[in-house]
Amino acid sequence: MPVVFHDGRAFALADRGVDLQDLLSRPDELRQAADLAVSKGLAMNVAPEQILAPVLKPRKILGIGLNYADHAAETGREPPKNQTWFVKQVTALNAPYGQIMMPAVSECLDYETELVVVIGRKGRHVPAERAHEIIAGYTCGNDVSVRDWQRATPTMNMGKGFDSHAPIGPWIVTPDEIGDVNELGLRTYVNGELRQNGNTSELIHKIPELIAHLTAAFTLEPGDLLFTGTPAGVGVAHAPPKYLKPGDRVRIEIDRIGHIEHDIIQERAETRIG
């Protein structure tokens, strides 16, 4: 059931047939439905593990590499002049408090805290100055990365698209509520230890430029998710690397949005067909 959060409480949207993703392109109706739910007092108890990703069927999940100068420096590389995009598979989508799988085929599991843009309207050839017209809002994301698989091929796609490796949420904060999107602190904790402590002011390519660049090539659609890059402090940049392991808990926080949190569990290489 679609829910909205207001003052720390969850409310059922008035029309239970409402598809939240469908409403992203109609913010006035979304607001009306949310206002109605709140005014009728349709409050619910929602346990964190019951909260699903705020977009359930994105048609694209895209991520940009090396979009913070301090992160580029810690990897020993120059920030790329061109925007460097990779694909996270839609089957990687995960809930905000879902479990992240430690792949059966790797021991190089890493975290990347990122501001995620949720697209609300279809757009093609959208200039930077009009990019805001197709943004539904913002959410937290963990661009979970399998470093050995990421580095094995130039496209990075294989190491970025493992199942469960795109948790987002816990909700979408709309542009009118986010404040200055270029002044948001981002933090990562692993078992309570602060690992990343950045700010979106450090983004090399700003969000409007990302949308202008992508839509020069293809159409962005409601529900598409754009991972905007991660600041310094990823596990692989430590000496020796601090990779994630089963039993770890990762917490991703972004100012004015909230946090998502995941336990790491071991995946077993079981063949499943059908």
Residue (2 or 65) nearer to Zn ion, CB: 65
CB under 5 A: which stretch of 49-57, 106-114, 133-141, 185-193 binds Zn ion? 106-114
Residue (61 or 95) nearer to Zn ion, CB: 61
Which of 125, 140, 102, 110 lies closest to 238, judged by CA?
110
CB under 5 A: which stretch of 26-34, 138-146, 163-171, 199-207 binds Zn ion? 138-146
Residue (188 or 230) nearer to Zn ion, CB: 230
**Shortest distance, position 115 Cβ to Zn ion, whole Å:** 11
In sequence order, which residues have a C-beta less than 8 Å from that of residue 131 and are 6 or more positions away? 207, 208, 210, 211, 212
CB under 5 A: which stretch of 27-35, 57-65, 133-141, 245-253 binds Zn ion? 57-65
**Shortest distance, position 21 Cβ to Zn ion, whole Å:** 23
Whole-angstrom distance, CA of residue 232 vs CA of residue 173: 24
Whole-angstrom distance, CA of residue 162 vs CA of residue 143: 10
**Shortest distance, position 159 Cβ to Zn ion, whole Å:** 11
Instruction: Give the x/- contact pattern for Zn ion in 198-237, rule: CB under 5 A.
Output: --------------------------------x-------
Residue (11 or 85) nearer to Zn ion, CB: 85
**Residue whose beta carbon is closest to Zn ion:** 143
**Shortest distance, position 137 Cβ to Zn ion, whole Å:** 19
In this chain, which of 93, 95, 143, 264 binds Zn ion, going by CB under 5 A? 143
CB under 5 A: which stretch of 49-57, 87-95, 142-150, 171-179 binds Zn ion? 142-150
Q: Do the Cβ atoms of 81 and 245 come closer than 8 Å?
A: no
Whole-angstrom distance, CA of residue 85 vs CA of residue 87: 7
Which of 164, 158, 32 lies closest to 86, judged by CA?
158
**Shortest distance, position 191 Cβ to Zn ion, whole Å:** 21
Per rule CB under 5 A, is residue 112 in the interface with Zn ion?
Answer: yes
**Shortest distance, position 108 Cβ to Zn ion, whole Å:** 15
Q: Quickly list DSSP for 98-132.
A: PPEEE-TT-S-EE--EEEEEEE-S-BSS--GGGGG
In sequence order, which residues have a C-beta less than 8 Å from that of residue 137 and are 6 or more positions away? 118, 120, 172, 173, 174, 175, 177, 178
**Shortest distance, position 86 Cβ to Zn ion, whole Å:** 8
Q: Do the Cβ atoms of 248 and 191 come closer than 8 Å?
A: yes
Whole-angstrom distance, CA of residue 123 vs CA of residue 210: 13
Per rule CB under 5 A, is residue 174 in the interface with Zn ion?
Answer: no
Per rule CB under 5 A, is residue 110 in the interface with Zn ion?
Answer: no
134-152 burial by CB neighbour count: b if 16+ within 10 A, else e?
Answer: bbbbbbbbbbbbbbbbbee
Of residues 70 through 89, those in contact with Zn ion by CB under 5 A are: none
Binding site for Zn ion (CB under 5 A): 63, 112, 143, 230
